Amino acid sequence: MAVLYKYRVWCVTENTHVPTASFQASPPTTCPNNVAHTITASKTAVIDSDLSLEGHSEDTSNPHEVTSTQSGSISYGGGGVTLKDDSSPFIKNNSSSYSVVSSFRFGGSTQDGTPSTVKIVVMTNDNSIVGAIRVYDVTNSLVIAEDTNVTFTSDDVSEIKSLSVTGGNVPANEAIFELQAKKVSGGGELRFQEYTLQF
Ligand SMILES: [Zn+2]
């Protein structure tokens, strides 16, 4: 199934970014607000995709089985986050050192702006776990956002973790970002469901 994206175009007429209203397969060639507007096509960027973190296995010898290599961010849907059980897709991580949960292209602050927060929907199968989660700029070897003391109150209940972005580390130009995680202590594993950069 093809991945669909939401895009943002730079509208010269309105002097602002304009997002597409729906997910689509290819970038818009006109302003979503008005086809008569002038846009700067080189500033068109992916801001979201309908790709979710899909698939998992119970292979306990491998701490992280699925890595997204699709560009664009992955977001959780509107209307709130519902409680999910073990039947929900997730990417598990119980690595003792930071390892990749998902990677994506960030367009750079010049084009996309500077995100303020990373929202991560994650749960665990053992709330004795203490995890660490970060967004890492692989291109420039900088930590964009990090929480080294991620804890949970229940098993198998999704929680939203907010990581504050270190704005000074956000690159001006495009870079590859990775969502990385590790288990610091305790039992079980981190189970990642979705995440998004918020601007
Ligand atoms: Zn416009």
In this predicted model, what pLDDT tens digit does every residue of 147-159 receive, in sequence order?
Answer: 999 999 988 888 8
For ligand 1, the distance from its centroid to the CA atom of residue 13, given in whole angstroms, is 6
Mean pLDDT of the chain: 80
For ligand 1, the distance from its centroid to the CA atom of residue 167, given in whole angstroms, is 28
Q: Where are the domains of the chain?
A: 5-47, 52-198
Taking 60 as the threshold, does the pLDDT of residue 8 lie above it? yes
Report pLDDT for 54.
43
Per-residue pLDDT of 58-69, as tens digits, reads 444 443 333 333
Could you list the beta-strand ranges (E) of 50-127.
91-93, 99-106, 117-124
Distance CA 138, CA 122 (A): 22
Taking 60 as the threshold, does the pLDDT of residue 33 lie above it? yes
Phi-psi region of 126 (alpha: psi -120 to 50; beta: other; left: phi over 0): beta
Per-residue pLDDT of 120-153, as tens digits, reads 888 898 999 999 999 999 999 999 999 999 999 9
For ligand 1, the distance from its centroid to the CA atom of residue 10, given in whole angstroms, is 8
For ligand 1, the distance from its centroid to the CA atom of residue 108, given in whole angstroms, is 22
Measured torsion, CA atoms of residues 53, 90, 96, 140, in degrees rounded to the nearest 10? 10
Contact 161, 119 (CB under 8 A): yes
Report the predicted TM-score, pTM, of the whole model to 2 decimal places: 0.59
For ligand 1, the distance from its centroid to the CA atom of residue 14, given in whole angstroms, is 5
Domain spanning 52-198: CATH superfamily? Galactose-binding domain-like (2.60.120.260)
For ligand 1, the distance from its centroid to the CA atom of residue 119, given in whole angstroms, is 29
For ligand 1, the distance from its centroid to the CA atom of residue 162, given in whole angstroms, is 32
